[in-house]
Structure 1
Amino acid sequence: MAFIDTGGSNSNSFQQGSKLYIFLLTLVATLGGLLFGYDTAVVNGAEKSLVEFYIYKTNGTNYIFDLNTVTQLFSQYRIMMVIVLFFVFIILSGQFIRLLGKKNGGIITAVLIGGLTIWAVSFLSNALPNSADTEAMKNMADAVKGFVIASALIGCIIGGAAAGFVSKSLGRKNGLFIAAVAFFISAIGAWKPEAFNIFGTLDVYSFVVYRIIGGIGVGLASMISPMYIAEIAPANVRGKLVSFNQFAIIFGMLVIYFVNLVIARQGDEQWLITEGWRYMFLSGAIPAGIFVLLLFFVPETPRYLAMKGKNDKALSVLQKIAGKDNAESILTDIKGTLHELNAPWLSYGAGVIIVGVLLSVFQQAVGINVVLYYAGNIFRNMGASTDSSLLQTIIVGVVNLAFTVVAIMTVDKFGRKPLMIIGSIGMAVSMIGLGFTFYSGHVGILALIFMLTYTAAFAMSWGPVCWVLLAEIFPNSIRGALSIAVAAQWIANWIVSLTFPMLNDNVWLTNTFNHGFSYWIYGIMSILSAIFMWKFVPETKGRTLESIEELWKKK
């Protein structure tokens, strides 16, 4: 991510530009964030229907398996899993080489690929469990379930890792356009995966491929939308405008929660399993189509235009957003910083990159996307009907949105570290408490309260504030290293979302802990995140980007 840091007397120069024009450009860019939230949360309402339609039927507490179906599912699952991991790793290998250099990065990449190859051979050659072993069959089906539900996150890893290259080579605007098209294709393909199955796989894996395409859009938008906003925003309100992207993500989640509820009420449970879930995914084509159309009317950012030597076009855009009197001086400042764009990523040592990666990993390891993706499943485990669980999910979305606003309004007043540490403590108490309500069998209003307090604690801290820190701690000259942290975030997200069904629905864990075990893990991770913030992350409130760079130079 690169920022227009005009500094000095130019810091307020954008005041002479068109505020309405800046607002409209920001609004269009935040559609990337809205679709980010919409696309990742749509699976919340469709999860139960997808499982029963594609994987296995449930009858109370009994699982009804069709041996041929489950065997086919798992066989193709293993092949797809291996292909996906190799593809993701090839994408990420470019980041290793950029980070460590061609020689060291190449050696480490070769070693890791060798290890992945050994694992893949073992994974593909393992025998399938005996069909009479119901528990083993269910665990196998749960693995497929996690893969299908979390499939979009595979694309997020790819898109997040590729976002730096796309934004630099093709431009910020074109990167957003690719993301918008990916959202649209995904919505159509996931609606009728059997009709658009050109992959030679089972229909469920055609669905997976289209979800991966949508995930690529999410991964691109997660980095390029805030980048676009930052590069056209006035310096004095940049933080607030960039924070609107996080607001748009949460708002997109809330919108799809309402859409899912409306669709679910159009038919009975069986209709929802066979047809209703399709319209949940198809609904995403509407905002995606609007996004595609609006992008034809927005300009490329001045910084990218200057990078490509298109100074006249850059000046034209700057005159609209900064005023004619200041456009020339701002363009001069931008061109003066372009020589820094290709600095080695370890110029400031490994500390800043490690902190950035751990911030991203902890943001996911505390379990937020288990709540956002599987809230309906959690509420059904509490005894709620499908309709009631979707309504309760909306309550979670409202709380998430409200406390995101709290964070936006207080992050520059109270500081980053206090909010993050308080949020971690709140999440730890809530998750451990939620685990005990399941373990003791006393689910109900208390469990709902813990869910809401957890969501509130995350929304006022690790949700938006983590992104603020990531935008601030990376020095301008190695801003591209942010893509490492973004990719790490999506990898952590995928791992958490993939493993939750295995932990939550495992027969032994369920019999022993009554669905409480996984929440205790997220509670422990919340405690560790508080310690990490306290010990290793600097406070950036009130510091200039240059003074933050000095912190890493001293280390």
Structure 2
Amino acid sequence: MVIAGRLSDVVGRKKVMLGTALVFVVGACGEALAPSPGWLVFFRILVGIGIGTETTVAPLYIAEVAPAAVRGRLVSFNQLFNTIGNLVVFAVSAVIAHVNSEAWNIDQGWRWIFALGVIPAVAFFLLLFLVPESPRWLVRKGRSDEALTVLKHVNATPEAARRELTAIEGVLGQEHGGLRELLAPALRRMLVVGVGVALFQQITGINAIFYYAPEVFRTAGFGSDGAMTSTVLIGVVLVVATLVSMRLIDRVGRRALLLVGSTAMTVLLAGIGLVFRASHPNAALLLVLILAYVGFFAVSFGTVAYVIISEIFPTRVRGVAASVATFALWGGNYLVSQFFPVLVDGIGSSGTFFLFSGICLIALVFTATLVPETRGRSLEDLAQAG
């Protein structure tokens, strides 16, 4: 993922996504057929590289193709299908666990779950042949005629397409590009915002819920079946709330969603911490609080982070910047996944969720003081304002 954005600057957004689709196909087949734990780990790492690349390049590509008025909604489609994928995995895992014996699940069930991943991977690869290359990448490569053709397809009139092409050419002519420019004072605030939003998406507790939901619910008194069913409910809420975010993001704006979401998440995580302080946690109340938290996360940071990363940076450094921000995002993911069990053992479930509540409060202050509103502004306008 570190080099994904830069690679897409060199060979094109579409070619990198095609390569990523092939990685998914090979990785899913390898996971399902792995003859040993070592090979399973290898193919899991391969798929992880693909996921890091996809989450870097796909939102970036969509932002560069989409008209400004609906850019947030269209970039959000990437997260929507991520959440649908999560729901499918939760549901399939629950069904397989329910209808088969534990011994069969341990021996064969996981292979079937991995094998099903081949279907969306192949669909992703084939559907990419129907989409054009990014017009902004084409202009950077001196292929303005091809860029104009793409812009005519996504703009209301040919005149609007020509105006956008002129704006793209003008901004690209002023830029010098590369990591050095990204670290320069002129873009430092953009870098802080992009990395900060990406990091807060991951360290505000969501992956503690995703990765450890069954254990969290069992701690609160749910049985095994109830814990798995509650996990599926999380997937349903995630999809529904992402749809709500797509409806709102180009109407009320990115910044407003982040402010509302971080405020609600602060309160809800504190509530979860209070529930776990009881000697016998109220399981029903815990489920309600967690589902509400997941909903506000999806409406705000879950969707908006990818939109901000894809649109806040100038075109010439957008690939490099997206790689840096996405590296921070997955770095945060790794930290939460590794240290959540350690935190629970060290300070308890209550203290851990209070900690996440405090991080959400910091995210609220960060958003209020640093994050600009980007709704309805062209990528070139944002670059000029940098």
1:431 to 263, 266, 269: 269
Aligned pairs (5 A) from 1:534-545: 534-541=368-375, 545=379
Find the aligned partners of 2:340 and 2:41 in 1 and give their Cα distance: 18
Query: Per-residue displacement from partner, 1:313-345 (whole Å, max 9, x unpaired)?
Result: 445545555589456665555444433453311
1:461 to 300, 303, 323: 300
2-structure distance, mates of 1:306, 1:402: 37
Matched, 1:366 2:184: no
Q: 8 Å contact 2:238–2:294 — kept in the other structure?
A: yes
1:176 is matched with 17
CA distance in 2: counterparts of 1:545 and 1:500, whole angstroms? 38
**Deviation per residue, 1:439-467 (Å, 9 max, x gap):** 32314101111111111121121111223
Which among 481, 488, 503 is matched to residue 343 of structure 2?
503
| More off after superposition, 241-250 vs 321-330 | 321-330
1:175 CA displacement: 0.8
State the AA in 1 paired with 2:8.
S
Q: For structure 1, which runs of at least 5 residues remain unmatched after alignment?
A: 1-158, 196-202
Contact 1:340 1:477 in 2 (8 A): no
Distance 2:376 2:104 in 1: 55
Confirm or deny that 1:296 pairs with 2:129.
yes
TM-score (norm 1): 0.63
How far has the Cα of 1:546 moved from its partner? 5.9
Q: Report what 1:353 is aligned to.
A: 191
Partner of 2:80: 247
Alignment partners' CA distance in 2, 1:455 and 1:535: 24
| Residue 180 (structure 2) pairs with residue 342 (structure 1) | no
Match of 1:187 among 10, 14, 28: 28
Distance 1:355 1:386, change over 3 A: same
Distance in structure 2 (CA, Å) of the matches to 1:418 and 1:319: 32
Contact 2:203–2:359 (Cα < 8 Å) also in 1: yes
Structure 1 residues 334-343 or 239-248, which shifts more?
334-343
* Structure 2 spans left out of the alignment, 5+ residues: none
Structure 2 residue 325 is matched with structure 1 residue 489:
no
Is residue 279 of structure 1 aligned with residue 112 of structure 2? yes
Q: How many residues align?
A: 379
Identical-pair percentage: 38
Matches of 1:415 and 1:336, distance apart in 2: 27
* TM score, norm. by length of structure 2: 0.88
For the 8 Å contact 1:264–1:387, the answer to whether it is kept is: no
**1:448 equivalenced with 2:287 (yes/no):** yes
Deviations 1:192-251 (A, max 9, x none): 32x2xxxxxxx4343222111111111111121122222332343222212222222212
What amino acid does structure 2 have at the position aligned with 1:250? T
CA RMSD after TM alignment: 2.7
- Post-superposition shift, 1:425? 2.2
In structure 1, distance between residues paired with 2:199 and 2:314: 20
Task: Give the alignment partner of residue 141 of structure 2, picking from 291, 296, 308.
Answer: 308
Deviation string for 1:122-167 (max 9, x for gaps)?
Answer: xxxxxxxxxxxxxxxxxxxxxxxxxxxxxxxxxxxxx2x1221221
Equivalent position of 1:111 in the other structure: none
The alpha-carbon distance between structure 1 residues 374 and 318, as it changes in their structure 2 partners (threshold 3 A), is same
> Aligned to 2:3, what secondary structure does the other structure show?
helix
Decide whether the 8 Å contact of 1:176 with 1:221 is kept in 2: yes
> Judging changes above 3 Å, is the alpha-carbon distance between structure 1 residues 232 and 361 closer, same or farther for their aligned structure 2 residues?
closer
CA-CA distance at 1:438 after TM superposition:
2.5
The answer to whether residue 254 in structure 2 is matched with residue 420 in structure 1 is no
CA distance in 1, matches of 2:60, 2:367: 25
Deviations 1:61-80 (A, max 9, x none): xxxxxxxxxxxxxxxxxxxx
Q: Could you tell me how far 1:411 is from its partner in structure 2?
A: 2.9
Distance, in Å, in 2 between the alignment partners of 1:310 and 1:470 is 25
Q: Secondary structure at the match of 1:516?
A: helix
The offset of 1:422, in angstroms, is 2.2
Which among 395, 400, 415 is matched to residue 233 of structure 2?
A: 395
Change (3 A) 1:523 1:540: same
CA distance in 1, matches of 2:17, 2:324: 19
Choose 1 or 2 for highest CA Rg.
1
> Structure 1 residues 298, 420: closer, same or farther in 2, change over 3 A?
closer
| Aligned ranges 1:42-57 → 2 under 5 Å | none
Q: Distance in 1 between matches of 2:350 and 2:18?
A: 42
Larger displacement relative to structure 2 (427-436 or 333-342): 333-342
